[in-house]
Structure 1
């Protein structure tokens, strides 16, 4: 569980080192920021894969027209 959420653990650790203690809202904010970063990264990876798919489709269409 810790390995799967290492970014959250590191964020909480950084917050604790910086402030000494964290209140509930601060913990929630750190977790929310980590979850948002994960979602952004996943979306960027999805878009990159889609661009590759579209490029392959374009290449396929060009090859079909040549044949």
Structure 2
């Protein structure tokens, strides 16, 4: 199954809505950027990122980069 990340939209501080095109079907999830002991990570709901034809790490990296430029003081 091929998937393309179409958009990342800011919802609120550290929360983003992602839209994917998965084989012609639109799928959406909400990603929240969390931190524990100084390590930032992404939690997706619903968590279907690992089932896509793209790297979940690449998606997480995109969300983390987006978060760095959209949240003041980070």
After TM superposition, the score normalised by the length of structure 2 is: 0.30
| Larger strand fraction of residues | 2
After TM superposition, the score normalised by the length of structure 1 is: 0.32
Larger of the two Rg values belongs to structure: 1
